[in-house]
Structure 1
Amino acid sequence: MHRKELDPESSAAAAFGERIRRHRDEHGWTQEELGKRMGCSGTHISAVETGRRPPTRRFAERADRVFGTGDRLERQSRAVRHTAVLEGFPEYVTHEMRAAEVRLYEVGIIPGILQTAEYASALTVRTVERGAITSEQGDERMSLIKERQAALLRTPPPLVFVVLDESCLRVPVGSPEVMDAQLARLIEFAALPNTVLQVAPFAMGDRRSIRLPLYILTTQSRSLVSYAESAHRGQLERETSSVVPILTAYHQLQAEALSQAASVAMINQLRKGTP
Protein backbone atom coordinates (compact mmCIF):
# COMPACT_ATOMS: atom_id res chain seq x y z
CA MET A 1 0.00 0.00 0.00
CA HIS A 2 1.41 3.40 -1.01
CA ARG A 3 2.07 5.63 2.00
CA LYS A 4 2.37 9.32 1.22
CA GLU A 5 5.38 10.98 2.81
CA LEU A 6 4.50 14.01 4.91
CA ASP A 7 6.52 17.22 5.21
CA PRO A 8 5.49 18.88 8.49
CA GLU A 9 7.53 21.95 7.56
CA SER A 10 5.47 22.69 4.46
CA SER A 11 2.38 24.05 6.23
CA ALA A 12 0.43 24.10 9.49
CA ALA A 13 -2.01 21.58 8.01
CA ALA A 14 0.84 19.20 7.11
CA ALA A 15 2.33 19.54 10.61
CA PHE A 16 -1.02 18.69 12.19
CA GLY A 17 -1.58 15.76 9.83
CA GLU A 18 1.89 14.38 10.53
CA ARG A 19 1.20 14.50 14.26
CA ILE A 20 -2.09 12.65 13.88
CA ARG A 21 -0.35 9.96 11.82
CA ARG A 22 2.45 9.67 14.38
CA HIS A 23 -0.01 9.16 17.26
CA ARG A 24 -1.99 6.67 15.18
CA ASP A 25 1.16 4.69 14.35
CA GLU A 26 2.17 4.65 18.01
CA HIS A 27 -1.15 3.00 18.85
CA GLY A 28 -0.90 0.59 15.94
CA TRP A 29 -4.23 1.67 14.47
CA THR A 30 -5.24 1.83 10.83
CA GLN A 31 -7.01 4.91 9.53
CA GLU A 32 -10.30 3.01 9.61
CA GLU A 33 -9.74 1.95 13.24
CA LEU A 34 -8.96 5.50 14.29
CA GLY A 35 -11.98 6.73 12.35
CA LYS A 36 -14.28 4.39 14.26
CA ARG A 37 -12.91 5.65 17.58
CA MET A 38 -13.43 9.26 16.49
CA GLY A 39 -16.79 8.83 14.82
CA CYS A 40 -15.69 9.51 11.25
CA SER A 41 -14.46 7.57 8.22
CA GLY A 42 -10.98 6.34 7.47
CA THR A 43 -11.12 8.49 4.35
CA HIS A 44 -11.61 11.55 6.55
CA ILE A 45 -8.60 10.58 8.66
CA SER A 46 -6.53 10.17 5.48
CA ALA A 47 -7.57 13.61 4.21
CA VAL A 48 -6.55 15.28 7.47
CA GLU A 49 -3.28 13.38 7.72
CA THR A 50 -2.22 14.43 4.22
CA GLY A 51 -3.33 18.05 4.70
CA ARG A 52 -6.13 17.84 2.13
CA ARG A 53 -8.80 18.65 4.71
CA PRO A 54 -8.26 21.11 7.59
CA PRO A 55 -9.17 19.80 11.04
CA THR A 56 -12.25 21.29 12.65
CA ARG A 57 -12.14 22.12 16.34
CA ARG A 58 -14.48 19.17 16.99
CA PHE A 59 -12.15 16.80 15.13
CA ALA A 60 -9.11 18.00 17.11
CA GLU A 61 -10.94 17.73 20.45
CA ARG A 62 -11.99 14.16 19.64
CA ALA A 63 -8.43 13.30 18.64
CA ASP A 64 -7.19 14.66 21.98
CA ARG A 65 -9.67 12.41 23.82
CA VAL A 66 -8.78 9.33 21.78
CA PHE A 67 -5.00 9.80 22.08
CA GLY A 68 -5.05 11.18 25.63
CA THR A 69 -3.15 14.31 24.62
CA GLY A 70 -4.98 16.82 26.84
CA ASP A 71 -5.77 19.76 24.56
CA ARG A 72 -2.50 19.84 22.62
CA LEU A 73 -4.01 18.77 19.29
CA GLU A 74 -6.88 21.25 19.63
CA ARG A 75 -4.38 24.06 20.27
CA GLN A 76 -2.23 23.01 17.32
CA SER A 77 -5.28 22.84 15.06
CA ARG A 78 -5.88 26.57 15.57
CA ALA A 79 -2.80 27.30 13.45
CA VAL A 80 -4.54 25.50 10.58
CA ARG A 81 -7.93 27.18 11.01
CA HIS A 82 -6.66 30.70 11.68
CA THR A 83 -5.29 31.38 8.22
CA ALA A 84 -5.92 35.13 8.42
CA VAL A 85 -3.13 35.76 10.92
CA LEU A 86 0.64 35.52 10.68
CA GLU A 87 2.54 32.32 11.36
CA GLY A 88 3.19 31.74 15.03
CA PHE A 89 0.32 33.93 16.23
CA PRO A 90 -2.27 31.15 16.80
CA GLU A 91 0.24 29.35 19.02
CA TYR A 92 0.99 32.60 20.82
CA VAL A 93 -2.73 33.03 21.51
CA THR A 94 -2.95 29.60 23.16
CA HIS A 95 -0.25 30.72 25.61
CA GLU A 96 -1.83 34.16 26.08
CA MET A 97 -5.13 32.60 27.14
CA ARG A 98 -3.38 30.98 30.12
CA ALA A 99 -0.63 33.46 30.92
CA ALA A 100 -0.14 34.98 34.36
CA GLU A 101 1.21 38.21 32.85
CA VAL A 102 0.69 39.76 29.41
CA ARG A 103 2.87 42.57 28.03
CA LEU A 104 2.06 44.25 24.72
CA TYR A 105 3.56 46.98 22.59
CA GLU A 106 1.61 48.05 19.52
CA VAL A 107 2.16 50.52 16.68
CA GLY A 108 -0.48 52.08 14.44
CA ILE A 109 -3.58 50.23 15.68
CA ILE A 110 -5.15 49.39 19.01
CA PRO A 111 -4.24 45.78 19.95
CA GLY A 112 -6.95 43.17 19.52
CA ILE A 113 -7.52 42.51 23.22
CA LEU A 114 -8.51 46.19 23.67
CA GLN A 115 -10.53 46.74 20.50
CA THR A 116 -14.22 47.55 20.67
CA ALA A 117 -16.42 45.47 18.38
CA GLU A 118 -17.02 48.53 16.19
CA TYR A 119 -13.33 49.37 15.89
CA ALA A 120 -12.43 45.75 15.09
CA SER A 121 -15.22 45.56 12.51
CA ALA A 122 -14.19 48.81 10.78
CA LEU A 123 -10.58 47.66 10.64
CA THR A 124 -11.54 44.26 9.27
CA VAL A 125 -13.93 45.66 6.66
CA ARG A 126 -11.23 47.96 5.32
CA THR A 127 -8.72 45.09 5.17
CA VAL A 128 -11.20 42.96 3.22
CA GLU A 129 -11.90 45.87 0.84
CA ARG A 130 -8.18 46.14 0.09
CA GLY A 131 -8.16 42.47 -0.85
CA ALA A 132 -5.62 41.63 1.85
CA ILE A 133 -7.93 38.96 3.30
CA THR A 134 -11.21 37.33 2.31
CA SER A 135 -14.50 38.03 4.07
CA GLU A 136 -14.29 34.54 5.61
CA GLN A 137 -10.85 35.35 6.97
CA GLY A 138 -12.26 38.60 8.30
CA ASP A 139 -14.86 36.64 10.25
CA GLU A 140 -12.01 34.46 11.48
CA ARG A 141 -10.15 37.48 12.80
CA MET A 142 -13.22 38.82 14.56
CA SER A 143 -13.80 35.45 16.21
CA LEU A 144 -10.20 35.27 17.40
CA ILE A 145 -10.43 38.74 18.94
CA LYS A 146 -13.53 37.70 20.89
CA GLU A 147 -11.79 34.55 22.13
CA ARG A 148 -8.78 36.53 23.33
CA GLN A 149 -10.87 39.14 25.11
CA ALA A 150 -13.04 36.52 26.79
CA ALA A 151 -9.95 34.68 28.05
CA LEU A 152 -8.73 37.81 29.85
CA LEU A 153 -11.89 37.79 32.00
CA ARG A 154 -10.92 34.51 33.67
CA THR A 155 -10.46 34.20 37.45
CA PRO A 156 -7.92 35.13 38.61
CA PRO A 157 -7.29 37.58 35.76
CA PRO A 158 -3.79 38.01 34.35
CA LEU A 159 -1.75 41.14 34.89
CA VAL A 160 -1.82 43.07 31.61
CA PHE A 161 0.74 45.74 30.72
CA VAL A 162 0.18 47.70 27.51
CA VAL A 163 2.36 50.33 25.86
CA LEU A 164 0.82 52.02 22.84
CA ASP A 165 2.75 54.05 20.34
CA GLU A 166 1.06 57.44 20.03
CA SER A 167 0.14 56.52 16.46
CA CYS A 168 -2.36 53.98 17.85
CA LEU A 169 -4.36 56.86 19.25
CA ARG A 170 -4.09 59.17 16.27
CA VAL A 171 -4.68 56.87 13.29
CA PRO A 172 -8.43 57.13 12.59
CA VAL A 173 -10.31 53.85 12.20
CA GLY A 174 -14.00 53.99 11.27
CA SER A 175 -16.10 57.03 12.12
CA PRO A 176 -15.27 59.68 14.76
CA GLU A 177 -17.85 57.99 16.99
CA VAL A 178 -16.05 54.65 16.64
CA MET A 179 -12.73 56.25 17.57
CA ASP A 180 -14.23 58.09 20.55
CA ALA A 181 -15.73 54.86 21.89
CA GLN A 182 -12.40 53.12 21.36
CA LEU A 183 -10.51 55.78 23.30
CA ALA A 184 -13.11 55.52 26.05
CA ARG A 185 -12.46 51.77 26.18
CA LEU A 186 -8.76 52.45 26.76
CA ILE A 187 -9.57 54.69 29.72
CA GLU A 188 -11.81 51.98 31.17
CA PHE A 189 -9.02 49.45 30.71
CA ALA A 190 -6.51 51.68 32.52
CA ALA A 191 -8.85 51.88 35.54
CA LEU A 192 -8.88 48.11 36.10
CA PRO A 193 -6.90 46.79 39.11
CA ASN A 194 -4.89 44.28 37.06
CA THR A 195 -3.77 46.57 34.23
CA VAL A 196 -1.26 49.27 33.34
CA LEU A 197 -1.66 51.41 30.21
CA GLN A 198 1.07 53.71 28.92
CA VAL A 199 1.59 55.75 25.77
CA ALA A 200 4.96 56.02 24.03
CA PRO A 201 4.71 59.57 22.63
CA PHE A 202 6.26 60.71 19.36
CA ALA A 203 8.47 62.99 21.47
CA MET A 204 10.43 59.94 22.67
CA GLY A 205 12.15 59.96 19.28
CA ASP A 206 15.14 57.63 19.18
CA ARG A 207 14.82 56.78 22.86
CA ARG A 208 12.32 54.03 22.18
CA SER A 209 13.93 50.61 22.64
CA ILE A 210 11.34 48.76 20.53
CA ARG A 211 10.00 49.82 17.13
CA LEU A 212 7.82 46.92 16.00
CA PRO A 213 4.76 45.29 17.62
CA LEU A 214 5.81 42.98 20.44
CA TYR A 215 4.04 40.59 22.83
CA ILE A 216 5.63 39.00 25.91
CA LEU A 217 4.01 36.46 28.20
CA THR A 218 4.87 35.12 31.62
CA THR A 219 3.27 31.70 32.01
CA GLN A 220 1.86 30.24 35.21
CA SER A 221 5.15 28.35 35.64
CA ARG A 222 7.03 31.69 35.24
CA SER A 223 8.58 30.76 31.91
CA LEU A 224 8.66 33.39 29.15
CA VAL A 225 7.19 33.44 25.64
CA SER A 226 7.51 36.28 23.13
CA TYR A 227 5.95 37.03 19.78
CA ALA A 228 7.17 39.73 17.40
CA GLU A 229 5.73 40.88 14.09
CA SER A 230 7.00 42.54 10.96
CA ALA A 231 4.80 43.38 7.97
CA HIS A 232 4.66 39.80 6.64
CA ARG A 233 6.14 37.55 9.34
CA GLY A 234 5.50 36.55 12.90
CA GLN A 235 8.12 34.98 15.16
CA LEU A 236 7.29 33.00 18.30
CA GLU A 237 10.15 32.56 20.77
CA ARG A 238 10.09 30.19 23.75
CA GLU A 239 13.79 30.07 24.70
CA THR A 240 14.19 32.03 27.93
CA SER A 241 17.71 33.11 27.00
CA SER A 242 16.30 34.75 23.88
CA VAL A 243 13.24 36.30 25.53
CA VAL A 244 15.03 37.92 28.50
CA PRO A 245 16.80 40.60 26.37
CA ILE A 246 13.43 41.36 24.73
CA LEU A 247 11.82 41.72 28.16
CA THR A 248 14.64 44.06 29.20
CA ALA A 249 13.98 46.22 26.14
CA TYR A 250 10.28 46.29 27.05
CA HIS A 251 11.06 47.50 30.58
CA GLN A 252 13.27 50.23 29.10
CA LEU A 253 10.36 51.25 26.86
CA GLN A 254 8.04 51.43 29.87
CA ALA A 255 10.53 53.63 31.73
CA GLU A 256 10.66 56.14 28.86
CA ALA A 257 6.91 56.11 28.10
CA LEU A 258 4.37 58.39 29.76
CA SER A 259 3.03 57.36 33.14
CA GLN A 260 -0.45 55.87 33.21
CA ALA A 261 -1.90 59.12 34.56
CA ALA A 262 -0.23 61.16 31.82
CA SER A 263 -1.30 58.61 29.21
CA VAL A 264 -4.94 58.79 30.29
CA ALA A 265 -4.70 62.60 30.23
CA MET A 266 -3.45 62.45 26.63
CA ILE A 267 -6.32 60.17 25.63
CA ASN A 268 -8.85 62.50 27.25
CA GLN A 269 -7.34 65.46 25.39
CA LEU A 270 -7.72 63.62 22.10
CA ARG A 271 -11.35 62.85 22.92
CA LYS A 272 -11.94 66.57 23.45
CA GLY A 273 -10.27 67.37 20.15
CA THR A 274 -7.23 68.96 21.81
CA PRO A 275 -3.93 68.36 19.88
Structure 2
Amino acid sequence: MVNRKELHPEDSPRAGYGAHLRRLRERRDWTQDDLAARTSYSSQHISAVETARKPPTLPFSREADQALGTAGKADSLERLWNEMRYGSLREGFPEYVGYEGRAVEIRSFHIGIIPGLLQTPEYAQALANGDVRRGSITQQQADERVAFLMERQAALVRDRPPMLLVVMDESCIRRPIGGFAVMGAQLERLVEYAGLPNSVLQVAPYEIGERRSFDLPVNLLTLADRSMVAYAETHAQGHVDRDRTTVVSLLTAYHQLQAECLSQADSVAMIEQVRKGMS
Protein backbone atom coordinates (compact mmCIF):
# COMPACT_ATOMS: atom_id res chain seq x y z
CA MET A 1 0.00 0.00 0.00
CA VAL A 2 1.44 3.39 -0.99
CA ASN A 3 2.43 5.73 1.86
CA ARG A 4 1.31 3.24 4.48
CA LYS A 5 3.04 4.38 7.65
CA GLU A 6 4.38 1.70 9.95
CA LEU A 7 2.79 1.85 13.40
CA HIS A 8 4.46 1.17 16.73
CA PRO A 9 1.67 0.34 19.21
CA GLU A 10 4.14 -0.21 22.03
CA ASP A 11 5.25 3.44 21.95
CA SER A 12 2.26 4.82 23.88
CA PRO A 13 -1.41 4.15 24.69
CA ARG A 14 -2.38 6.55 21.90
CA ALA A 15 -0.22 4.61 19.43
CA GLY A 16 -1.79 1.37 20.62
CA TYR A 17 -5.24 2.79 20.02
CA GLY A 18 -4.29 3.88 16.50
CA ALA A 19 -2.92 0.45 15.64
CA HIS A 20 -6.11 -1.19 16.94
CA LEU A 21 -8.23 1.15 14.84
CA ARG A 22 -6.21 0.22 11.75
CA ARG A 23 -6.60 -3.51 12.50
CA LEU A 24 -10.36 -3.18 12.83
CA ARG A 25 -10.58 -1.19 9.60
CA GLU A 26 -8.35 -3.47 7.58
CA ARG A 27 -10.17 -6.55 8.91
CA ARG A 28 -13.10 -5.30 6.84
CA ASP A 29 -10.89 -4.44 3.86
CA TRP A 30 -11.82 -0.79 4.25
CA THR A 31 -9.68 2.17 3.34
CA GLN A 32 -9.64 5.28 5.49
CA ASP A 33 -11.98 6.83 2.92
CA ASP A 34 -14.38 3.90 3.38
CA LEU A 35 -14.51 4.44 7.13
CA ALA A 36 -14.82 8.20 6.69
CA ALA A 37 -17.84 7.70 4.44
CA ARG A 38 -19.57 5.84 7.29
CA THR A 39 -18.78 8.45 9.96
CA SER A 40 -18.77 12.22 10.31
CA TYR A 41 -14.96 12.28 10.38
CA SER A 42 -12.66 12.91 7.43
CA SER A 43 -10.13 10.39 6.16
CA GLN A 44 -7.42 12.86 7.20
CA HIS A 45 -8.72 12.79 10.78
CA ILE A 46 -8.83 8.99 10.79
CA SER A 47 -5.28 8.87 9.45
CA ALA A 48 -4.12 11.24 12.20
CA VAL A 49 -5.71 9.06 14.90
CA GLU A 50 -4.21 5.88 13.45
CA THR A 51 -0.73 7.39 13.40
CA ALA A 52 -1.15 8.93 16.89
CA ARG A 53 -0.88 12.48 15.58
CA LYS A 54 -4.32 13.23 17.04
CA PRO A 55 -5.72 11.85 20.29
CA PRO A 56 -8.86 9.74 20.06
CA THR A 57 -12.01 11.02 21.74
CA LEU A 58 -15.05 9.30 23.21
CA PRO A 59 -17.41 10.57 20.44
CA PHE A 60 -14.97 9.38 17.77
CA SER A 61 -14.65 5.98 19.44
CA ARG A 62 -18.39 5.49 19.67
CA GLU A 63 -19.03 6.56 16.09
CA ALA A 64 -16.24 4.39 14.71
CA ASP A 65 -17.53 1.43 16.75
CA GLN A 66 -20.97 1.83 15.20
CA ALA A 67 -19.49 1.89 11.72
CA LEU A 68 -17.14 -1.03 12.36
CA GLY A 69 -19.70 -3.17 14.14
CA THR A 70 -17.69 -3.31 17.39
CA ALA A 71 -20.02 -1.34 19.68
CA GLY A 72 -20.41 -3.11 23.00
CA LYS A 73 -17.89 -5.81 22.12
CA ALA A 74 -14.70 -6.79 23.88
CA ASP A 75 -12.53 -5.24 21.15
CA SER A 76 -14.49 -1.98 20.93
CA LEU A 77 -12.70 1.31 20.56
CA GLU A 78 -14.81 2.83 23.34
CA ARG A 79 -13.56 0.18 25.76
CA LEU A 80 -9.95 0.89 24.74
CA TRP A 81 -10.52 4.64 25.09
CA ASN A 82 -11.88 4.09 28.59
CA GLU A 83 -8.81 2.06 29.50
CA MET A 84 -6.61 4.89 28.26
CA ARG A 85 -8.56 7.64 29.98
CA TYR A 86 -9.25 5.90 33.26
CA GLY A 87 -6.36 3.50 33.58
CA SER A 88 -5.96 4.28 37.29
CA LEU A 89 -9.48 3.03 38.02
CA ARG A 90 -10.56 -0.49 38.86
CA GLU A 91 -11.20 -2.89 36.02
CA GLY A 92 -14.85 -2.77 35.00
CA PHE A 93 -15.56 0.61 36.55
CA PRO A 94 -15.39 2.75 33.37
CA GLU A 95 -17.90 0.37 31.76
CA TYR A 96 -20.18 0.74 34.77
CA VAL A 97 -19.96 4.55 34.61
CA GLY A 98 -21.18 4.44 31.01
CA TYR A 99 -24.36 2.77 32.23
CA GLU A 100 -24.61 5.01 35.31
CA GLY A 101 -24.91 8.13 33.18
CA ARG A 102 -27.99 6.67 31.47
CA ALA A 103 -29.69 5.15 34.49
CA VAL A 104 -33.14 6.20 35.70
CA GLU A 105 -32.66 4.56 39.09
CA ILE A 106 -29.41 4.01 41.00
CA ARG A 107 -29.26 1.79 44.07
CA SER A 108 -26.03 1.44 46.01
CA PHE A 109 -24.63 -0.01 49.21
CA HIS A 110 -21.33 1.07 50.71
CA ILE A 111 -19.06 0.10 53.58
CA GLY A 112 -16.49 2.34 55.25
CA ILE A 113 -16.49 5.11 52.63
CA ILE A 114 -19.19 7.60 51.61
CA PRO A 115 -20.44 6.69 48.10
CA GLY A 116 -18.66 8.59 45.34
CA LEU A 117 -21.77 10.32 43.99
CA LEU A 118 -22.27 11.97 47.39
CA GLN A 119 -18.64 12.84 48.18
CA THR A 120 -17.49 16.43 48.54
CA PRO A 121 -14.37 17.32 46.50
CA GLU A 122 -12.35 17.65 49.74
CA TYR A 123 -13.41 14.21 51.00
CA ALA A 124 -12.63 12.64 47.60
CA GLN A 125 -9.23 14.35 47.48
CA ALA A 126 -8.37 13.13 50.99
CA LEU A 127 -9.11 9.54 49.94
CA ALA A 128 -7.06 9.88 46.75
CA ASN A 129 -4.16 11.48 48.60
CA GLY A 130 -4.15 8.54 50.98
CA ASP A 131 -3.56 6.22 48.02
CA VAL A 132 -0.70 8.49 46.90
CA ARG A 133 0.97 8.26 50.31
CA ARG A 134 0.70 4.46 50.16
CA GLY A 135 2.34 4.53 46.73
CA SER A 136 -0.55 2.83 44.93
CA ILE A 137 -1.15 5.76 42.54
CA THR A 138 0.66 8.95 41.51
CA GLN A 139 -0.47 12.44 42.46
CA GLN A 140 -1.51 13.02 38.85
CA GLN A 141 -3.66 9.90 38.94
CA ALA A 142 -5.16 11.03 42.24
CA ASP A 143 -6.12 14.39 40.75
CA GLU A 144 -7.54 12.68 37.66
CA ARG A 145 -9.56 10.35 39.87
CA VAL A 146 -11.13 13.28 41.72
CA ALA A 147 -11.81 15.15 38.48
CA PHE A 148 -13.46 12.04 37.06
CA LEU A 149 -15.68 11.77 40.14
CA MET A 150 -16.79 15.38 39.73
CA GLU A 151 -17.65 14.60 36.09
CA ARG A 152 -19.79 11.65 37.26
CA GLN A 153 -21.62 13.85 39.72
CA ALA A 154 -22.19 16.57 37.12
CA ALA A 155 -23.58 14.04 34.63
CA LEU A 156 -26.43 13.27 37.05
CA VAL A 157 -27.52 16.91 37.32
CA ARG A 158 -30.05 17.05 34.53
CA ASP A 159 -33.68 18.01 33.90
CA ARG A 160 -34.90 14.57 34.94
CA PRO A 161 -32.27 13.24 37.36
CA PRO A 162 -32.23 9.57 38.29
CA MET A 163 -33.75 8.31 41.51
CA LEU A 164 -30.79 7.68 43.81
CA LEU A 165 -31.25 5.20 46.66
CA VAL A 166 -28.26 4.85 48.97
CA VAL A 167 -27.67 2.50 51.88
CA MET A 168 -24.53 3.14 53.92
CA ASP A 169 -23.09 0.96 56.61
CA GLU A 170 -22.73 2.93 59.84
CA SER A 171 -18.96 2.77 59.38
CA CYS A 172 -19.27 5.22 56.47
CA ILE A 173 -20.35 8.07 58.71
CA ARG A 174 -18.15 7.21 61.71
CA ARG A 175 -14.84 6.76 59.89
CA PRO A 176 -13.18 10.21 59.86
CA ILE A 177 -11.65 11.02 56.47
CA GLY A 178 -9.53 14.13 55.96
CA GLY A 179 -9.93 15.42 59.51
CA PHE A 180 -12.94 16.75 61.40
CA ALA A 181 -13.51 19.80 59.15
CA VAL A 182 -13.61 17.74 55.95
CA MET A 183 -15.71 15.02 57.54
CA GLY A 184 -18.10 17.50 59.11
CA ALA A 185 -18.74 19.16 55.75
CA GLN A 186 -19.22 15.73 54.18
CA LEU A 187 -21.84 14.75 56.73
CA GLU A 188 -23.61 18.06 56.21
CA ARG A 189 -23.79 17.29 52.51
CA LEU A 190 -25.42 13.94 53.27
CA VAL A 191 -28.14 15.71 55.23
CA GLU A 192 -28.73 18.08 52.31
CA TYR A 193 -28.88 15.15 49.91
CA ALA A 194 -31.52 13.41 52.03
CA GLY A 195 -33.78 16.41 51.49
CA LEU A 196 -33.83 16.08 47.69
CA PRO A 197 -37.00 14.76 46.05
CA ASN A 198 -35.11 12.11 44.05
CA SER A 199 -33.21 10.66 47.02
CA VAL A 200 -33.52 7.94 49.61
CA LEU A 201 -30.75 7.73 52.21
CA GLN A 202 -30.57 5.00 54.85
CA VAL A 203 -27.95 3.91 57.36
CA ALA A 204 -27.44 0.22 58.11
CA PRO A 205 -26.62 0.33 61.85
CA TYR A 206 -24.04 -1.93 63.41
CA GLU A 207 -26.65 -3.73 65.47
CA ILE A 208 -28.26 -5.47 62.49
CA GLY A 209 -25.24 -7.75 62.61
CA GLU A 210 -25.55 -10.80 60.36
CA ARG A 211 -28.80 -9.46 58.89
CA ARG A 212 -26.74 -7.16 56.68
CA SER A 213 -27.07 -8.89 53.32
CA PHE A 214 -23.88 -7.57 51.65
CA ASP A 215 -20.24 -7.69 52.72
CA LEU A 216 -18.95 -5.78 49.68
CA PRO A 217 -20.05 -2.57 47.94
CA VAL A 218 -22.84 -3.16 45.41
CA ASN A 219 -24.43 -0.93 42.75
CA LEU A 220 -27.66 -1.69 40.88
CA LEU A 221 -28.78 0.37 37.91
CA THR A 222 -32.18 0.48 36.23
CA LEU A 223 -32.01 1.79 32.67
CA ALA A 224 -34.75 3.55 30.70
CA ASP A 225 -35.89 0.28 29.08
CA ARG A 226 -36.21 -1.22 32.62
CA SER A 227 -33.27 -3.55 32.10
CA MET A 228 -30.85 -3.73 35.01
CA VAL A 229 -27.09 -3.78 35.47
CA ALA A 230 -25.17 -4.75 38.59
CA TYR A 231 -21.67 -3.71 39.58
CA ALA A 232 -19.69 -5.08 42.51
CA GLU A 233 -16.06 -4.68 43.40
CA THR A 234 -13.33 -6.04 45.58
CA HIS A 235 -10.17 -4.21 46.62
CA ALA A 236 -8.50 -5.17 43.33
CA GLN A 237 -11.18 -5.06 40.64
CA GLY A 238 -14.80 -4.45 39.72
CA HIS A 239 -17.23 -6.51 37.69
CA VAL A 240 -20.26 -5.49 35.61
CA ASP A 241 -23.03 -8.10 35.45
CA ARG A 242 -26.05 -7.94 33.14
CA ASP A 243 -27.29 -11.49 33.76
CA ARG A 244 -30.93 -11.16 34.79
CA THR A 245 -30.86 -14.01 37.32
CA THR A 246 -27.85 -12.56 39.11
CA VAL A 247 -29.17 -9.00 39.08
CA VAL A 248 -32.62 -9.99 40.39
CA SER A 249 -30.97 -11.94 43.21
CA LEU A 250 -28.93 -8.87 44.18
CA LEU A 251 -32.02 -6.66 43.99
CA THR A 252 -33.88 -8.98 46.36
CA ALA A 253 -30.97 -8.85 48.81
CA TYR A 254 -30.93 -5.05 48.53
CA HIS A 255 -34.63 -4.84 49.41
CA GLN A 256 -34.05 -7.14 52.38
CA LEU A 257 -31.24 -4.87 53.52
CA GLN A 258 -33.43 -1.77 53.27
CA ALA A 259 -35.98 -3.43 55.52
CA GLU A 260 -33.31 -3.83 58.24
CA CYS A 261 -32.01 -0.26 57.96
CA LEU A 262 -32.97 2.88 59.81
CA SER A 263 -35.63 5.02 58.17
CA GLN A 264 -34.41 8.09 56.30
CA ALA A 265 -35.50 10.35 59.18
CA ASP A 266 -33.67 8.21 61.75
CA SER A 267 -30.65 7.96 59.46
CA VAL A 268 -30.45 11.75 59.18
CA ALA A 269 -30.76 12.02 62.95
CA MET A 270 -27.80 9.65 63.39
CA ILE A 271 -25.72 11.58 60.84
CA GLU A 272 -26.51 14.86 62.61
CA GLN A 273 -25.52 13.36 65.94
CA VAL A 274 -22.17 12.18 64.56
CA ARG A 275 -21.58 15.58 62.89
CA LYS A 276 -22.23 17.51 66.09
CA GLY A 277 -19.77 15.27 67.88
CA MET A 278 -17.06 16.48 65.49
CA SER A 279 -17.62 20.16 66.09
Bin of the TM-score, shorter chain as denominator length: 0.7 to 0.9
**Residue type at the aligned position of 1:39:** H
8 Å Cα contact 1:56/1:81 also seen in 2: no
8 Å Cα contact 1:160/1:194 also seen in 2: yes
Task: Give the Å deviation of 1:64.
Answer: 3.9
8 Å Cα contact 2:18/2:51 also seen in 1: no
TM-score scaled by length of structure 1: 0.83
Question: Given the superposition, is the C-alpha separation of residues 221 and 79 from structure 1 closer, same or farther in structure 2, using an over 3 Å criterion?
Answer: farther
8 Å Cα contact 2:107/2:165 also seen in 1: yes
1:185 aligns with 2:183: no
Task: Give the Å deviation of 1:74.
Answer: 7.1
TM-score scaled by length of structure 2: 0.82
Q: For 2:115, which of 93, 111, 117 is the aligned residue?
A: 111
Q: Which sections of structure 2, spanning at least 5 residues, go unmatched?
A: none
Equivalents in 1 of 2:198, 2:216: separation in Å?
Answer: 25
8 Å Cα contact 1:38/1:62 also seen in 2: no
Task: Give 3-state SS (helix, strand or coil) of 2:202's partner.
Answer: strand
Task: Give 3-state SS (helix, strand or coil) of 2:197's partner.
Answer: coil
23-32 or 236-245, larger mean C-alpha shift: 23-32
Task: Give 3-state SS (helix, strand or coil) of 1:199's partner.
Answer: strand
**Residue type at the aligned position of 1:45:** E
Equivalents in 2 of 1:173, 1:151: separation in Å?
Answer: 25
Question: Given the superposition, is the C-alpha separation of residues 68 and 37 from structure 1 closer, same or farther in structure 2, using an over 3 Å criterion?
Answer: farther
The within-5 A match list for 1:1-275 is: 18=20, 21-23=23-25, 25-26=27-28, 28-29=30-31, 37=43, 39=45, 41=47, 44-45=49-50, 56=55, 58=57, 60-65=58-63, 68=66, 75-76=78-79, 77-273=81-277
Equivalents in 2 of 1:220, 1:17: separation in Å?
Answer: 35
Question: Given the superposition, is the C-alpha separation of residues 183 and 46 from structure 1 closer, same or farther in structure 2, using an over 3 Å criterion?
Answer: same
Equivalents in 2 of 1:18, 1:239: separation in Å?
Answer: 29
Can you list the C-alpha shifts for 1:12-56, whole angstroms capped at 9, x where unaligned? x979964663245336125998796252646x5166xxxxx9x94
For these two proteins, the number of residue pairs brought into alignment is 260
**Residue type at the aligned position of 1:220:** A
Equivalents in 2 of 1:105, 1:199: separation in Å?
Answer: 10
Equivalents in 2 of 1:205, 1:88: separation in Å?
Answer: 30
**Residue type at the aligned position of 2:141:** Q
Question: Given the superposition, is the C-alpha separation of residues 19 and 206 from structure 1 closer, same or farther in structure 2, using an over 3 Å criterion?
Answer: farther
Q: Which sections of structure 1, spanning at least 5 residues, go unmatched?
A: 48-52
8 Å Cα contact 2:21/2:77 also seen in 1: no
* CA RMSD in angstroms, aligned pairs only: 3.3
